[in-house]
């Protein structure tokens, strides 16, 4: 999170909402599953499109799905299968906070991501 000295919630929220885009990526980190922790020697990793995650909190706790999209401005992710049903019957994807999911399978299509994981 953005480094701020105040412990006041309003200032913590403001720092989060007004954080620069390069700092917003920190808010999209999610814990790894125990197998991935042992394999890569890391506790958390940034969620990217194509990762498989398991929701750990909220109404959809226990559901597993592929990450369809990552919204960096709102610091939320869209998981396939996690959606709300509107009154007219249409399905609307529900945004989930990255801290409320656990990464179970990584998308290793990006060579830079693989290289960074290999450094640990």
Instruction: Write down the pTM of the prediction.
Output: 0.87
Mean pLDDT over the full length of the chain: 92
Q: Which pLDDT tens digit goes with each residue over 36-52?
A: 999 999 999 999 999 99
Q: What is the pLDDT of residue 120?
A: 62
What is the band of 67 on the pLDDT scale with cuts at 50, 70, 90?
very high
User: Which structural domains are found in the chain, ordered by start?
Assistant: 9-119 (2.30.30.30)
> Cα torsion for 91, 45, 10, 21, to the nearest 10°?
-90
Q: Is 89 helix (H, G, I), strand (E, B) or coil?
A: coil
CA distance to 61, 79, 97, per residue, from 87 (Å): 23, 21, 24
Please count the CA atoms within 13 angstroms of the CA of 105 that sit on its side-chain side. Answer: 7
């Amino acid at each position: 999170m953005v480094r701020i000295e105040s412990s006041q919630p309003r200032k913590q929220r403001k720092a989060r909402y007004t954080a620069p885009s390069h700092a917003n990526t920190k808010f999209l980190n999610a814990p790894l599953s125990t197998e991935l922790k042992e394999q890569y020697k890391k506790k958390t990793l940034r969620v990217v499109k194509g990762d498989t995650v398991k929701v750990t909190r909220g109404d959809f706790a226990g559901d597993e799905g592929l990450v369809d999209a990552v919204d960096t401005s709102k610091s939320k992710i869209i998981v396939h299968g996690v959606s709300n049903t509107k009154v007219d019957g249409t399905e609307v994807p529900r945004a989930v906070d990255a801290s409320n999911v656990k990464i179970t399978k990584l998308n290793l299509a990006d060579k830079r991501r693989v290289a960074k994981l290999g450094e640990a």
